[in-house]
């Protein structure tokens, strides 16, 4: 299975080329666009992430190359039946605070991607998808609050809660994609 580029390196590249969004948010936007439109051209998504540039620098070329890899992997993952779909957010080795922030910005990107893909507030959606999108919008507002007086026992509860929420989002995206793009998700990418 292919792996996403390193998030922090991609974030640095995107920052250096003054991209409109970071890595997590960009992946969320791609998933939102895919849910809204089905097939989303990489160029259409790249324009949302990178904006327009007159000159092509080495950093811009490298950012584009890595984003194309993200696009390819994501389209493959969303169109297979073995539920290998992953959210491009910081992994379990990163501090919980970074993972919560990454999930929140991923969800912001997803909501943005839905709008960029043509889904508006008044768009008629299946009830499950409408509820999931509402939840994802709430999660996009998430932040991690550190309580100086919190006991260490709370961190395990926080970890479990984060795992449950991120898994809910991950599986929810697949359901939204399946409901909004039934033909796409029933075809296998070769």
Domain ranges of the chain: 7-186
**Mean of per-residue pLDDT scores for the chain:** 87
Chain Cα centroid distance, residue 86: 9
Residue 154 has pLDDT above 80, yes or no: no
- Rounded distance, CA 184 to CA 59, Å? 33
b/e for 133-168, b at 16 or more Cβ within 10 A?
A: beebeebbebeeeeeeeeeeeeeeeeeeebeebbee
Distance CA 124, CA 184 (A): 19
Q: Categorize the per-residue pLDDT at 163 as very low, low, confident or very high, splitting at 50, 70 and 90.
A: very high
The pLDDT value given to residue 80: 81
First vs last C-alpha separation in the chain? 14
Calculate ∠ Cα 184-185-189, nearest 5°: 80
Architecture label for domain 7-186 = Up-down Bundle (1.20)
Least Cα distance to 70 among 33, 104, 116 occurs for 33
Q: What is the pLDDT of residues 97-137, one digit of tens each?
A: 899 999 999 999 999 999 999 998 888 999 999 999 999 99
Residue with tokens 């919560």: 100
On the question of pLDDT at 91 being above 80, the answer is: yes
Separation between Cα atoms, residue 136 and residue 26, nearest integer Å: 15
Q: Residue 101: which residues within 8 A CB-CB, separation 6 or more?
A: 143, 144
- Residue 118 CA to residue 67 CA, distance in Å, equals 22
Please give the model's pTM, rounded to 2 decimal places.
0.88
144 pLDDT tier (thresholds 50, 70, 90): low
In sequence order, which ranges of the chain are alpha helices (DSSP H)?
Answer: 7-16, 23-37, 42-50, 58-78, 96-116, 127-139, 153-180, 182-186
pLDDT mean over 72-76: 93
Q: Is residue 190 over pLDDT 60? A: no
In 3D, which of 189, 180, 163 has the Cα closest to residue 38?
180
Please determine, for residue 185, whether its predicted confidence score (pLDDT) is greater than 60. no
**Two structure tokens written together for 26:** 């960009």
Q: Contact, 41 vs 33, CB < 8 A? A: no
Q: What is the mean predicted confidence (pLDDT) over 70-79?
A: 92
What confidence score (pLDDT) does residue 187 get? 44
């Amino acid at each position: 299975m292919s792996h996403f580029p390193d998030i922090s390196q991609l974030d640095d590249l995107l920052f250096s080329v003054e991209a409109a969004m970071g890595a997590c948010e960009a992946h969320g936007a791609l998933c939102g666009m895919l849910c809204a439109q089905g097939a989303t051209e990489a160029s259409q998504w790249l324009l949302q992430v990178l904006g327009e540039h007159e000159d092509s620098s080495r950093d811009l070329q490298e950012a584009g190359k890595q984003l194309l890899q993200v696009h390819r992997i994501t389209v493959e993952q969303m169109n297979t039946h073995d539920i290998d779909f992953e959210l491009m957010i910081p992994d379990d080795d990163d501090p919980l605070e970074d993972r919560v922030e990454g999930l929140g910005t991923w969800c912001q990107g997803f909501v943005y991607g839905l709008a960029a893909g043509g889904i508006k507030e008044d768009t008629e959606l299946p009830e499950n998808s409408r509820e999931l999108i509402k939840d994802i919008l709430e999660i996009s507002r998430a932040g991690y609050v550190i309580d100086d007086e919190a006991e260490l026992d709370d961190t395990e509860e926080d970890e479990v809660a984060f795992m449950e929420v991120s898994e809910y989002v991950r599986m929810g995206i697949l359901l939204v994609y399946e409901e909004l793009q039934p033909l796409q998700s029933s075809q296998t990418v070769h």
